[in-house]
Amino acid sequence: MDIKGKKAVVVGGASGFGRATAAAFAERGAHVAILDRPQSAGDEVAADLGGTFHPVDVVDHAATEAALAAAVDVLGGLHLAVNTAGGGAALRTLGKEGPHDLETFQRVVELNLVATFNLNRLQAAAMALNEPEDEERGVIVNTSSIAAFEGQIGQVAYTAAKAGIAGMALTMARDLGALGIRVLAIAPSLFATGITAGIPDDFAAALTKDAAFPKRMGRPEEYAKLALAIVDNPMLNGQCLRLDAGQRFAPR
């Protein structure tokens, strides 16, 4: 799909992967709307990109539906959706203080997996209204993690949620194939986003020592480059693409 002139929503677009992707899309001529938390830098980022900001907490599913509808209304449609919001918790299945509490597990799954599916179903409904371009109506890109495949000790909730996102890609692509809507997930390794953006170089080197190359943390712009490549190439569909410099997580 030619990105120029297309309508794009980036969820989590105020920082990290989302901000880099929103900027890359805007630079390529897309019209961009950003959804992110009310306390984020969404207003500032949207203004820089000539887009709009729609504050929302994605775990509030009704509010998410309203915010996405407002974004689509302002854009005048929806062709591209990139979903990057998420987070985790560090708890073992059974720790010194007892079993992993269900509330935390449910919260992590709700934030990552359920919120992503809620966005996807609504984004697909908006894309289905488009006139096809070379038989294609839209592209959905979700954010998994290499933890989906080799989660570390204490990542059981995060692993379950991110594995769900990876696993949805093919089934959802099959669900939406007749409509000309593609669905993919990106599974990054350790990237310099959020709390990891400011860690010292020596600590970052230790965390990425088992990567093949490059032996460093990823950059948000590298995620954005893959998102652009996904949009550009219609044969990419129904899979979770690792973006990991050949790294495999050790148990801890």
Catalytic residues: 158
| Helices and strands in the chain: count of H runs, count of E runs | 9, 9
Largest Cα–Cα distance in the chain? 57
Helices (H), 76-212: 102-109, 115-127, 147-150, 156-176, 201-207
Separation between Cα atoms, residue 41 and residue 14, nearest integer Å:
5
- The string of DSSP codes covering 111-137 is IIIIHHHHHHHHHHHHHTTSPPBTTB-
CA 125 → CA 26, 163, 243, distances in Å? Answer: 23, 24, 28
